[in-house]
């Protein structure tokens, strides 16, 4: 299966988030019913999303995991319907959920644990011949913030991501099918996220396509503010657009976002600054 490619060469793809969860930090469970999730996915495609990321497990710090049955119940009808409209990735750490979602039409597995949470995930991705997003991860939501300890966050994340690439490649996944993600907000304090963004080129130098998911994360709530004046998640889209412009200028393959409208605007600005896309004299 091939990965979708950019409409304009050099422009990142926009992955619109469809969380089918009652408790996501970023949208407060607004799309929890399959009907609401479907309508939301349709809206994101109309706004310019290139692919949709459907997930049934909230990964906010401290969140409890749903059962496998519950996760399947949440994501399968949504994956099935939305994959008629756009390429769909399934955001799951469970191989059985990934397998069922692939059967239902998903074409990409987005595993925030990079295959670490479920030992069946790496062999499943290899057997299905699908691309995978392997995110940097150090443990489930209940423990991850205790593990935000690094000697050099960028070097440590790169080393840990390289180990995940090796695991997928050893199982038979082509190296080109392994997309990497530094995992902003996962076992990271605000300054770790900023350091990873500042030195994103070092993550790119690993030689894989990159996904960056900064959308509505806490470090964007805190930038320029204090704990008392932190922006609420729904007020972080302008800051997200700023990091999107930055990620585009650093050549990432895809940005994972909640606000597709603002993201498309930021990417249009990136294209204009780079002298590519519509509006350029031919």
CB atoms within 10 A of CB 42: 17
What is the x/- site pattern for ligand PMM, positions 146-175, by CB under 6 A? ------------------------------
Residue with the shortest CB distance to ligand PMM:
213
* Least separation in angstroms between CB 152 and ligand PMM: 21
Is there a catalytic annotation at residue 218? no
Task: Examine residue 25 and tell whether it contacts ligand PMM (CB under 6 A).
Answer: yes
Q: Which of 13, 38, 59, 157 binds ligand PMM (CB under 6 A)?
A: 59
Q: Which of 213, 218, 244, 260 binds ligand PMM (CB under 6 A)?
A: 213
Torsions phi, psi for 155 (to 5 deg): -65, -40
Task: Examine residue 240 and tell whether it contacts ligand PMM (CB under 6 A).
Answer: no
Task: Examine residue 193 and tell whether it contacts ligand PMM (CB under 6 A).
Answer: no
Could you give the CA distance from residue 121 to residue 111 in angstroms, rounded to a whole number?
A: 9
Is there a catalytic annotation at residue 217? yes
Which residues, numbered 111-150, are part of the site for ligand PMM (CB under 6 A)?
112, 133, 135
Interacting span for ligand PMM (CB under 6 A) from 22-30, 64-72, 73-81, 170-178? 22-30
Task: Examine residue 32 and tell whether it contacts ligand PMM (CB under 6 A).
Answer: no
């Amino acid at each position: 299966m091939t990965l979708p490619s950019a409409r304009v060469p050099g422009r990142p793809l926009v992955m619109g988030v469809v969380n089918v969860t009652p408790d996501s930090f970023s949208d407060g469970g607004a799309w929890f019913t399959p009907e609401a999730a479907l309508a939301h996915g349709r809206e994101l495609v109309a706004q310019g999303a290139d692919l949709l990321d459907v997930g049934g497990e909230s990964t906010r710090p401290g969140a409890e995991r749903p059962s496998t049955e519950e996760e399947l119940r949440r994501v399968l009808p949504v994956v099935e319907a939305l994959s008629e409209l756009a390429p769909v990735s399934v955001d799951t750490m469970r191989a059985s959920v990934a397998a069922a979602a692939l059967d239902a039409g998903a074409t990409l597995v987005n595993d925030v644990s990079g295959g670490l949470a479920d030992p069946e995930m790496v062999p499943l991705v290899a057997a299905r011949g699908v691309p995978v997003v392997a995110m940097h991860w150090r443990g489930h939501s209940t423990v991850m913030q205790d593990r935000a300890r690094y000697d050099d966050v960028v070097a440590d994340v790169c080393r840990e991501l390289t180990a995940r690439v090796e695991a997928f490649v050893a199982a038979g996944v082509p190296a080109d099918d392994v997309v990497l993600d530094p995992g902003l907000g996962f076992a990271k304090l605000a300054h770790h996220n900023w350091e990873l963004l500042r030195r994103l080129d070092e993550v790119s130098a690993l030689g894989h396509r990159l996904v960056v998911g900064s959308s509505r994360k806490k470090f964007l709530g805190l930038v320029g503010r204090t704990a008392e004046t932190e922006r609420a998640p729904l007020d972080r889209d302008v800051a997200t657009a700023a990091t999107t412009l930055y990620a585009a200028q650093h050549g990432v393959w895809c940005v994972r976002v909640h606000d597709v409208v603002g993201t498309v605007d930021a990417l249009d600005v990136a294209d204009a600054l780079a002298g590519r896309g519509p509006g350029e004299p031919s």
